[in-house]
Chain A
Amino acid sequence: MSHVCSVELQINDIAALAAAAKRLGLEFRKGQTTFRWYGEWMDDWADPTRAAAMKGHDPAQFGSCIHALSQVKPTDGNPYEIGVIHSKDGKGYELIYDAWASGHGLEARAGQNLKKLRQEYTAEVSAKHLRKQGYAVQRTVDSKGNLIIQGIKP
């Protein structure tokens, strides 16, 4: 089945996305113009908060992207991928993937709605900016699973 999900995260820093993906066992594949999914839009998902087709994405474009994130050493025999696409508003990029069967391993790595990837991306952008400002960066995880990024002046 096809449950193509678009994710509410505007990506402005592709390098940070690639770094975040790597932490989760995903490989950034620059210039890969297709991502693995069910392959056919079945029009069988009416979740207005998740279904890409209900959020303004053209199902005819499902499977197309400008970069892709692929599972490293997948355990699923049919590992789906995440597509990186241009945002509808033309600013930055968005993520899109087929969430059927939890994306055949994708959500185990990146979380439902890719929330782990969102978290890692935000943390990467934070750390990158702090380093740019001359801070030494420390990263820790607290008991709630929050990522804590701290910048300390050398």
Chain B
Amino acid sequence: MRNILVILIVTLLIACTEKEPGGQGPVTAQNKPMVVTSNCPLYFFSSEIAGDLVDVRFPSIEGDPAMWVPGGDEAIMLQSADLLILNGAGYESWLSFTTLSGENIVDTTANVQSMLLPIENTTVHQHGPQGKHSHQGTAFTTWLDPELAIEQSRSILQAVTQLKPDQAELFKTNFDQLEKRLRQLDQSLAQSFAKLAAQPVVFSHPVYQYLQHRYQINGRSLHWEPGIEPGTRDWIELGKLLQAHPAKLMVWEETPLDSTRGRLTEMGVQSVVFNPAANPGKPTDYFEMMNKNTDQITAPK
């Protein structure tokens, strides 16, 4: 009886210490090159192209990534990334005050400068003897134009291919599929916006420049936030705008307050949401988001 007990214990010990077949555990994120992206669409494009071969990350940012201020931990992540995939076009305003190594930065709009749109009507100010200046720049929600999104994805393809040249073929295949889906989205968006014909539209925020440009939308922009009740001055401004630009549709980044929506309806303006999806709060499928946006676009009654 005692011998049987000893044999049983020894057998159990051997079983516990035995290695897994093959002797290798699962591939961890530590073995993969780290790629950090500056917004959700770039995160999605990078993940689609690189698949599981690269550890694609998007920092946990609350709110608009364009207004992000990296903290100490995020600075370490940005500095230690093998690739830092940026939107460019002035989107990453945090670049002007963040210390990074230039070697690993990929500006995905660097090759499409001629397709970028300038922001107009910025305020000029002056203090001291340095002279007048303004903080103007370039419209940066480039990923809303599928044609630009394809070019940005092409930059990502080149960067990840340089990072892992042995996987070039796989990356190219993934990119081709992504390009195909973006072209389909382009057609779908074109059909949706065609329903508007040349009807005037109001955008709640000036972030739809590329959408407006690509699909010839007759739109004008305000500076309204979906979660903030517009003030008297804002309503007066809208009234004046509607006199010159009789829009019946207002496009919001997110669902506006019920009170705002109600008052707009009274004014004969229908509210729809077209989320630019820069940071929907959690990693989201870009196409899912865009299809949801497309479904919202209907000709105002």
Say whether A associates with B: no
B-binding residues in A (CB < 8 A): none
A-binding residues in B (CB < 8 A): none
